[in-house]
Homo-oligomer: A and B are copies of this chain.
Amino acid sequence: MRIIVDAMGSDRRPAPDVRGAVDAAREYDVEILLVGDETRIRAELNKLGAVPSSVSLQHASQEIEMREHPALAVKEKKDASIVVGIEQLKQARADAFVSMGNTGAVLAASVLHLQRIKGVHRPALGALFPTPQGPCLLIDVGANTDCKPEWLEQFGIMGESYMRAVLGMEQPRVALLANGEEETKGNQDVQAAHVLLKQRAQSTGMNFIGNVEGKDIAARLADVIVADGFVGNIALKTAEGISKMLNDLIRSEIKSSPLTMMGGALAMPAFTKVKKILDYTEYGGAPLLGVNGVVIIGHGRSNEVAVKHAVRAAMRAVESQILETIRSGVTPRA
């Protein structure tokens, strides 16, 4: 198996991207194709001692910044690492593509070059949300706004496939994100999607558990939580914002007196454990589901561990034939 890694993806590129990819090649049974600025990648590789022969390199002279307009950048920068990487995947030079770069650009390049799986209305971006009981997949977190009920239904199907295939869950609980648990809650599209998913559950055995509320994400009442990309993005980022605020506030209050500082130092193992439990780097990245190719997108802040784990997630997705599962899942019912 061969995985393409965008070397120019993360905020501190290419160091975390190259190191994580090399670590993956050392630890897992996988070939790596690094795509990006050859000189900078070689400089980074030179710091890493003996690099396995399973790591190869494809030059790409351009890179897409986080601030750039995704669709425009993808069209204008034909030699950007994201575009070159996705093209390599399209030409079947590898089995999956992993990037910590501009999410919108990876999405745009994927839709443009790999195209949608036949039968998929809209590809969607899933995010693995860490909780003490394990990860929950929130889908979509920003690829689509103004989603129709049929799109939402498919997000549920694709999300269920991913949690089965990549996380090995047997009967993932699928739910719709809404403003109340009752079936009558939700906006018009969510209410209509509720009916579709209920039918789906009856015909296929999908474990659809109905609506969940915002507070149920962290409580992990479901394994796959379906949302319009506008709503999912707001939920995900609200959660990130609250975590950061609480973390910053606790830190600054602990530093405010010698006694609390001492307490903080003694309690440090507890904080470290909490951090580990909620460590996003464990899952490595968010899958883009519904295109003809395995694509994993990680956070710009990713470190080398996150990159390595994103490669692992991509490997599992390939091994489990996630694309085939989605293909058969989205085939219209007879």
Interface residues of A (CB under 8 A from B): 131-132, 142, 145-146, 177-180, 186-188, 190, 213-219, 227-231, 233-246, 249-250, 253-254, 256-257, 259-260, 262-271, 273-274, 277-278
Contacts and interface: CB of A to CB of B under 8 A. Distances in A.
A136 B218 CA distance: 22
A107 to B, nearest CB: 13
Contacts of A249: 132, 274, 277-278
A238 B240 contact: no
A241 B270 contact: no
A259 B272 CA distance: 14
A92 B214 CA distance: 38
Given A187-B230, A213-B233, 13 more contacts: A145-B186, A178-B230, A214-B240, A218-B241, A218-B245, A234-B234, A238-B242, A242-B242, A242-B246, A249-B277, A250-B270, A256-B270, A256-B273
Contacts of A254: 267, 270
Contacts of A228: 187
A81 B83 CA distance: 64
A266 B188 CA distance: 51
Contact of A188 (B146, B240, B259): B146
A235 B213 CA distance: 10
A215 B236 CA distance: 8
Contacts of A264: 263, 267, 270
A217 to B, nearest CB: 6
A186 B230 contact: yes
Given A142-B179, A146-B188, A249-B132, A244 B215 contact: yes
Nearest to A220: B245
Closest 6 CB pairs of A and B: A263-B266, A263-B267, A214-B237, A215-B241, A214-B238, A253-B270
